Amino acid sequence: MIESSKSGKAIPTLTYGMIGGGQGAFIGDVHRKAIGFDRKAQLVAGCFSRDYQNTLETGAALGIAEERLYKAYQEMAEAEGKREDKLDFIVIVTPNYLHFPIAKAFLEQGINVVCDKPLAPELKDAEELDKLAKEKGLLFCVTYTYTGYPMVKQAREMVKRGDIGDIRFINAEYPQDWLATPIESSGQKQASWRTDPAQTGKANCVGDIGSHTENLAGYITGLKIKTLAARLDTFVEGRVLDDNATVMVEYDSGAKGVYWISQIAVGHDNDLRIRIYGTKGSLEWSQEDPNYLKVAHIGKPTEILSRGRDALYPSAAQNSRIPGGHPEGYFEAFANVYSAFTNALIKKNTGETLTDGDLDFPTVQQGIDGVKFIGKCVESSQKGAAWLEF
Amino acid sequence: MIESSKSGKAIPTLTYGMIGGGQGAFIGDVHRKAIGFDRKAQLVAGCFSRDYQNTLETGAALGIAEERLYKAYQEMAEAEGKREDKLDFIVIVTPNYLHFPIAKAFLEQGINVVCDKPLAPELKDAEELDKLAKEKGLLFCVTYTYTGYPMVKQAREMVKRGDIGDIRFINAEYPQDWLATPIESSGQKQASWRTDPAQTGKANCVGDIGSHTENLAGYITGLKIKTLAARLDTFVEGRVLDDNATVMVEYDSGAKGVYWISQIAVGHDNDLRIRIYGTKGSLEWSQEDPNYLKVAHIGKPTEILSRGRDALYPSAAQNSRIPGGHPEGYFEAFANVYSAFTNALIKKNTGETLTDGDLDFPTVQQGIDGVKFIGKCVESSQKGAAWLEF
Amino acid sequence: MIESSKSGKAIPTLTYGMIGGGQGAFIGDVHRKAIGFDRKAQLVAGCFSRDYQNTLETGAALGIAEERLYKAYQEMAEAEGKREDKLDFIVIVTPNYLHFPIAKAFLEQGINVVCDKPLAPELKDAEELDKLAKEKGLLFCVTYTYTGYPMVKQAREMVKRGDIGDIRFINAEYPQDWLATPIESSGQKQASWRTDPAQTGKANCVGDIGSHTENLAGYITGLKIKTLAARLDTFVEGRVLDDNATVMVEYDSGAKGVYWISQIAVGHDNDLRIRIYGTKGSLEWSQEDPNYLKVAHIGKPTEILSRGRDALYPSAAQNSRIPGGHPEGYFEAFANVYSAFTNALIKKNTGETLTDGDLDFPTVQQGIDGVKFIGKCVESSQKGAAWLEF
Amino acid sequence: MIESSKSGKAIPTLTYGMIGGGQGAFIGDVHRKAIGFDRKAQLVAGCFSRDYQNTLETGAALGIAEERLYKAYQEMAEAEGKREDKLDFIVIVTPNYLHFPIAKAFLEQGINVVCDKPLAPELKDAEELDKLAKEKGLLFCVTYTYTGYPMVKQAREMVKRGDIGDIRFINAEYPQDWLATPIESSGQKQASWRTDPAQTGKANCVGDIGSHTENLAGYITGLKIKTLAARLDTFVEGRVLDDNATVMVEYDSGAKGVYWISQIAVGHDNDLRIRIYGTKGSLEWSQEDPNYLKVAHIGKPTEILSRGRDALYPSAAQNSRIPGGHPEGYFEAFANVYSAFTNALIKKNTGETLTDGDLDFPTVQQGIDGVKFIGKCVESSQKGAAWLEF
């Protein structure tokens, strides 16, 4: 944490480092912009690529001192761990298989962690991270971006307050089409590592976007999966991992659900959508039209709730930045995730005790649930879409 | 068949009778209006209700001679079968459990049949009807209404011609909400018989609208189900039969699919929707917005095909009646089903041989597929959503 | 009127004749199907074309006795006027310039009239028809089809009951694109007569669809135009009449509005849409999605009212035929217009006095308003979009 | 401009100051976030409010040295003008009537300007700013935010390349509803200054959002208004300025158009929408759904172009930041305006000559057009919606 010396009043500004996100990468810059949105943290160190030249150039473009640009994450964790002006948190935006060792290395140095999902290929690794974070008293955020949308928070709150009654059925889907052809064979970078078991783990589609689907359903409803049966498909010739999946789920409350996840669904960009049916009403939210929430109550006309216009619950309203009709999108949702995380960190740094309300960002527990979901889906599919206890 | 004597040129006009569709019923009048739309057949006999008074009043309102109003379908089949001016066809719009015996009785009298779906509670009964119709050389139409929409025919033709490549995945859904509460317990007529095993058979939701879903997918794509796993849910307390269902399917071509069918999905009226993903493109059609077809091709912007405006294949174009932007709906789709059936019947009556193209109405084979689908869904669900060969 | 002799109970069945609507025409058959929908009237006479052979063939196909097929409307009016079983009403579906003389000829013979809009090229002619109909005690319906949609009737009733407060502003538009190119020069029949001043009168676009726009606004709101300023454009080279128009209006209540009407708006089929803003709320209805009504109230989420599902006012509900989610369209709206007209006629034929509620079909007064609107628009445009008193 | 000394490679970082945007204001922080998005400029000075305490607190929260926090803009312009590390640009986000004097003061000190619209109440003042900026060789950006959306740039490029042929008609509308009730009388800050002639000038609605409408139409099409007729309405009792307006326009090319602008249109948040009809096709873009562009070509199905997915022209593609289906919104559009401006400024600072392509941000000329448009609308309306030369 650095103190602003320019003004009379001290401003707590957090510092952070990043692993991954060099030139040619996509999501790293989204993280940086999302963090910068609310000016709560400053990037001061990084290991942006396995290619040190890339790290140097990325670092220079971002105004980072060369002494804090590293050749390897291990070196970085060690060096930063020793500094008096230690990083407040590290952001991990590497291919999936590296999430676990990097997160572990920084936790061990007493540095809070923000990590992309899925948290780890293996459940035990994800659980180890949880254990470690708890032991060290560190915050751990897994960037399930879609939890940052105001209307998602509104949906969550409506469910919690019983506005749609007891939940009966959830239909969640996440179709994309960017892997409808074997673009990995032509070297497209995003496709190459995601479809490569060595870098991404045992699942592609169900890991990359299936975990978002599972997380969104869980985040909004609070329901826990009890059993599931999954069928993972690989439609594109030559591909090893799944590019489409159907999952039937049963929740501990007795509610049921179905998830459809696809990367071969021609015509869909990033079409995450969830529909939740209760005894009194229903909710529908679509990520591609995120400023609205469709609400139906038995016997009443369907309503379209508009962010920034209609009366929202406080947890939603405080994540809405501008008036209705001025669209907010993906960056703002991401910024909301970071805003909650950095607010919690600032409070923690002051020594205050964090409440549940302070922890309205996706935690390591959600990361663990995601890893478990992926693992169970793969196992069920291998057993012929058999039903498995969760 | 009666000949018009009013004009010089003979007009072939078919005659038909109806079982069911008395006062208080809903679908009978829809059939009558659909048949009347293109003036191809005239209603001349009926047994509209188990209550003869109802039949008499309905018949009078419809201008039917009292001598052709009957107390029971058996009596009617016998009497009509003996007439020289025998009915060209009978229309059966009774509760499900009566479809089979009535259809059988009229086939045996040499009368062509139009019957609501599901064709019969038991597969063997459905197959018997098929056999009987073939032996007698009679036409048999099962009124899967949604096959009558021009944009459904366009989708079917596009698939057949390979416009979207080989099909990989089908996502079909049919959510409604009218059974979200136990309205059958308050005596609502439509709900009462549909949720009563004695009148409707072993399935409610999956029988009533699940069979439409299965039929639509099969009609458009021509794919045959190879295996399926179904979970039937009963969410409303006190209800015996299913009111929600999820079905995972695998087709003989290797394509996969998922169907979701619900009558407790608050906010949905009659929201049948199908999305079909191929190697080259995709199609999406929604029954509530039936005049449009969403078409996506890899690497191109999504297109919205408009009935009556855009270039459609002949089988679609000839089922479109008015210019684009003048909405056609449910009645017109129904009329198209009847138009194809009556055209075939008129041609058959002249002694001409019917071609495949003449049979573009839902036949008894589709009815059999539907009965099989319902049966397999029920069986799979009873076995814990086990996978069954079709 | 003919009495049904087939059954014990007498069924009043109206008879009608038609002028226009022969082979090659479009709207005539729509009228016939709309009338047939509710089985309230039977076509028994016609003069379907200036080409007698066409009339004969059309008549034969419709089962009309040859003695009631006529070479000219004058002959038909005279002959039918003398019959004991005189037509209950005549339907006029000719090019515009013939509406007036034909309507007049049949009124003079004591026959009720249904006539397409616009009623007449000249206001005085339209007023003469009104006078004549009143003198003779005859019903006169002008087929403003869009008034037949249930959700239009719902909107009308909501305005009447003050549900959206006092109206401030109306934005109505009717874009089409079928005249975006000079298709009349290639002989397209519909385009040829509509763009020909000799057959259509002094306006094309503002006459054909502008009058629908004006009528819809007036029908729903009850507001009367006080002043207007119109600019009529002719964008397609070689065309004489207007193919696009903008009209600013002021109503007698002080409310304001703007109408945009176009036949060169590429991408629009038949996109009539109206939005009405009041002091308490607003309404939006689109003809291409006619089963829904968008309703907004200050401080509340926007609602989507669904025909057949949500609670509608009686005048709307009784014009809805099937459950929500089963789309009704253009034919059904048309049938509703005829249903109201024939119900009124049947009641009148019994000698009962008709109430305002019986006259919920577009009357000759609406036809007169339309003619006046067209005339004022043309005059205003010729004067440089000058403001004119209405 | 400050040089980064932390890394080997020099990073040009611009500095800027801001007038307005203190605590309680809305748009100032949007500007700051938009500038921060791409890290091209740093806020180092400000006069955020007429209330110096507010300025001090806002400045402290933003980490600005107290010596560069000012009590009045005049003082700030003078002091900053004398500094060696002079501001690269000033951002003006005050009520409208202050735009002119502040912009003038900073231009005179040789500081580039970014100013909210409308540029000035009087045309001559706006023109003076243009003259002054040219004399001093300074850049001047007027923040017409909506020009920053990628799909707006795509539309502009499509028109320029003739993809839709020659433009015939433009229908642009900008309905909002936040002033449907007299909220200014209850002291709502945004409403109070906007409806007060002393602070906002001679127009409210047509000034605030009408100028955006005019700008968007002009930006996309390049058409210049030749004549217009405007009717400004004041519907809410007690209000002095307009809250609704209808404007008929004619462009120098012969194309025609209509604009509807409203702040009383209940149910609309910020519903800026433009539809452009050409001889070959049409375009439709809606600000509330900004990631898509509806494109129609004569004789082809309507297409939905998706940002980040479909092939866009370079000027659009380079303003798109993330893959399709990840919604971008208002902040990103704003950031694009600033990105173009700061890129131009950085280039200018190096002494290079700016090309037209470098100036793809809304310039003072667009600001002048806006002021002229507002003035002509007010004048036309006062003369009874008379037609005026532009």
Tabulate helix, strand, coil % of chain D (nearest 5): 40, 25, 40
Does ipTM top 0.85?
Answer: yes
Distance from CA of B148 to the nearest CA of D (A): 22
Please provide the DSSP assignment of A198-264 as one string. HHH-S-SHHHHTHHHHHHHHHHHH---EEEEEEEEE--STT--S-SEEEEEEEETTS-EEEEEEES-
pLDDT, tens only, B275-334: 999 999 999 999 999 999 999 999 999 999 999 999 999 999 999 999 999 999 999 999
What residue has token string 């080279």?
C237
Terminal Cα-to-Cα distance of chain D (whole angstroms): 41
Nearest-by-CA chain B residue for C25: B322
Q: Are strands C41-47 and C12-19 parallel, antiparallel or unpaired?
A: parallel
Residue B163, amino acid:
D
Confidence tier at D121 by pLDDT (50, 70, 90): confident
Confidence tier at D9 by pLDDT (50, 70, 90): very low
Distance from CA of D300 to the nearest CA of B (A): 6
pLDDT, tens only, C216-242: 999 999 999 999 999 999 999 999 999
**Which of C229, C281, C384 is facing D385, going by the closest CB pair?**
C229
Contact B61 C176 (CB under 8 A): no
CA angle B144, B145, B149 (to 5 degrees): 125
Residue B1 has pLDDT above 60, yes or no: no
**Which of B7, B268, B328 is facing C63, going by the closest CB pair?**
B7
Contact A11 D326 (CB under 8 A): no
Residue A253 makes CB contacts below 8 A (sequence gap 6+) with A166, A167, A223
**In chain D, what percentage of residues exceed pLDDT 90?**
88
Residue B7 has pLDDT above 70, yes or no: no
Interface test with A, best of D331, D334, D336, D346 (most A CBs within 10 A): D331
pLDDT, tens only, D206-216: 999 999 999 99
Nearest-by-CA chain B residue for D310: B301
pLDDT at B186: 87
Region D260-281 average pLDDT: 98
Between chain A and chain C, the number of residue pairs with CB atoms below 8 A apart is 28
Note the Cα C97 to chain centre separation in Å.
16
> What are the structure tokens assigned to C333, written together?
């709206």
Residue B3 has pLDDT above 70, yes or no: no
Q: Which of D242, D259, D188 is nearest to C168 (CA)?
A: D242
Contact B305 D304 (CB under 8 A): no
**Which of A299, A302, A311 is facing C303, going by the closest CB pair?**
A302
Which residues in A lie closer than 8 A to residue C305 (C-beta atoms)?
301
pLDDT, tens only, A129-168: 999 999 999 999 999 999 999 999 999 999 999 999 999 9
Which residues in D lie closer than 8 A to residue A332 (C-beta atoms)?
329, 331
- For chain B, give the mean pLDDT: 94
**Which of D295, D301, D311 is facing B310, going by the closest CB pair?**
D301
Contact A231 B256 (CB under 8 A): yes
pLDDT, tens only, D232-241: 999 999 999 9
Contact B278 A266 (CB under 8 A): yes
Nearest-by-CA chain D residue for A334: D326
**In chain C, what percentage of residues exceed pLDDT 90?**
88
Distance from CA of D314 to the nearest CA of C (A): 25
What residue has token string 């100028």?
D211
Interface test with D, best of C243, C266, C277 (most D CBs within 10 A): C266
Interface test with D, best of B304, B305, B307, B309 (most D CBs within 10 A): B304
SS3 A350: coil
Contact A7 D59 (CB under 8 A): yes
Terminal Cα-to-Cα distance of chain B (whole angstroms): 41
Residue D355 makes CB contacts below 8 A (sequence gap 6+) with none
Contact D231 C164 (CB under 8 A): no
Which residues in B lie closer than 8 A to residue D306 (C-beta atoms)?
301-302
Contact D7 A59 (CB under 8 A): yes
Q: How far apart are CA B133 and CA B111, in angstroms?
A: 9
Distance from CA of B227 to the nearest CA of A (A): 12
Q: What phi and psi, each to the nearest 5 degrees, are found at residue B140? A: -140, 120
**Which of C37, C287, C308 is facing B269, going by the closest CB pair?**
C308
Q: What phi and psi, each to the nearest 5 degrees, are found at residue C289? A: -135, 60
Residue C193, amino acid:
W
SS3 D109: coil
Confidence tier at C194 by pLDDT (50, 70, 90): confident
Q: How far apart are CA A60 and CA A69, in angstroms?
A: 9
Please provide the DSSP assignment of D35-97 as one string. HHHTT-EEEEEEE--SSHHHHHHHHHHTT--GGGB-SSHHHHHHHHHH-TT--SEEEE-S-GG
Q: How far apart are CA D43 and CA D18, in angstroms?
A: 8
- Contact by Cβ (8 Å): D309, D324: yes
Region D95-100 average pLDDT: 92
CATH topology of domain C149-319+364-389: Dihydrodipicolinate Reductase; domain 2 (3.30.360)
Which residues in B lie closer than 8 A to residue C324 (C-beta atoms)?
269-270
Contact C235 D169 (CB under 8 A): yes
Region D139-161 average pLDDT: 98
Interface test with B, best of D158, D163, D302 (most B CBs within 10 A): D302
Q: How far apart are CA A219 and CA A341, in angstroms?
A: 16
Q: What is the CATH number of domain A149-321+364-389?
A: 3.30.360.10
pLDDT at C9: 37
Distance from CA of B206 to the nearest CA of A (A): 16
Region C275-285 average pLDDT: 98
Q: How far apart are CA B143 and CA B162, in angstroms?
A: 27
Residue B8 has pLDDT above 60, yes or no: no
SS3 A286: strand
Which residues in C lie closer than 8 A to residue A305 (C-beta atoms)?
301
Distance from CA of B380 to the nearest CA of C (A): 30
Is the domain spanning D149-322+363-389 CATH 3.20.20.140? The answer is no
- Contact by Cβ (8 Å): B374, B206: yes
pLDDT at B13: 80
Which residues in D lie closer than 8 A to residue B306 (C-beta atoms)?
301-302
Note the Cα A14 to chain centre separation in Å.
21
Nearest-by-CA chain B residue for A246: B258
What residue ranges in chain B does DSSP mark as E strands?
A: 2-3, 12-19, 41-47, 89-92, 112-115, 140-142, 167-175, 225-233, 244-251, 256-262, 273-278, 281-286, 292-297, 302-306, 387-389
pLDDT at D12: 52
Contact A325 D176 (CB under 8 A): yes
Nearest-by-CA chain B residue for A276: B265
Q: How far apart are CA C321 and CA C324, in angstroms?
A: 9
**Which of B235, B248, B265 is facing A385, going by the closest CB pair?**
B248
Between chain B and chain C, the number of residue pairs with CB atoms below 8 A apart is 130
Number of DSSP helices (H) and strands (E) in chain B, helices first = 13, 15
Residue D59 has pLDDT above 90, yes or no: yes
Contact C387 D387 (CB under 8 A): no
pLDDT at C12: 52
Q: Which of A39, A131, A43 is nearest to A93 (CA)?
A: A43
Contact D65 A7 (CB under 8 A): yes
Q: Identify the segments of chain A with pLDDT beneath 50.
A: 1-10
Contact A295 C301 (CB under 8 A): yes
Nearest-by-CA chain C residue for A310: C301
Q: Which of D287, D283, D294 is nearest to D269 (CA)?
A: D287
- Contact by Cβ (8 Å): B380, B229: yes
Residue C376, amino acid:
K
Q: Residues of chain B whose C-beta is under 8 A from some C-beta in D? A: 295, 299-306, 310-311
Region B105-134 average pLDDT: 96
- Contact by Cβ (8 Å): D154, D293: yes
Fold match between domain A2-138 and domain A149-321+364-389: no
Region D284-300 average pLDDT: 98
Distance from CA of C147 to the nearest CA of B (A): 14
- Touching subunits for chain C (3+ Cβ pairs under 8 A): A, B, D
Residue D183 makes CB contacts below 8 A (sequence gap 6+) with D191
Contact D328 A330 (CB under 8 A): yes
Confidence tier at C1 by pLDDT (50, 70, 90): very low
Domain range list for chain C: 2-138, 149-319+364-389
pLDDT, tens only, A222-253: 999 999 999 999 999 999 999 999 999 999 99
Q: Residues of chain C whose C-beta is under 8 A from some C-beta in D? A: 164, 168-169, 171, 173, 177, 180-181, 229, 231, 233, 235, 244, 246, 248, 256, 258, 260, 262, 264-267, 275, 277-282, 284, 294, 296-298, 302, 384-385, 387
Contact A300 C310 (CB under 8 A): yes
- Whole-model pTM: value is 0.96
**Which of A4, A61, A288 is facing D325, going by the closest CB pair?**
A288
SS3 B262: strand
- Contact by Cβ (8 Å): D156, C252: no
Task: Identify the architecture of domain A2-138 in CATH.
Answer: 3-Layer(aba) Sandwich (3.40)
pLDDT, tens only, D358-383: 999 999 999 999 999 999 999 999 99
Contact B287 C327 (CB under 8 A): yes
Angle between helices C150-160 and C210-221 (to 10 degrees): 50
pLDDT, tens only, B138-147: 999 999 999 9
> What are the structure tokens assigned to A247, written together?
């999952």
Region D61-75 average pLDDT: 96
Contact D270 A33 (CB under 8 A): no
Contact B59 C7 (CB under 8 A): yes
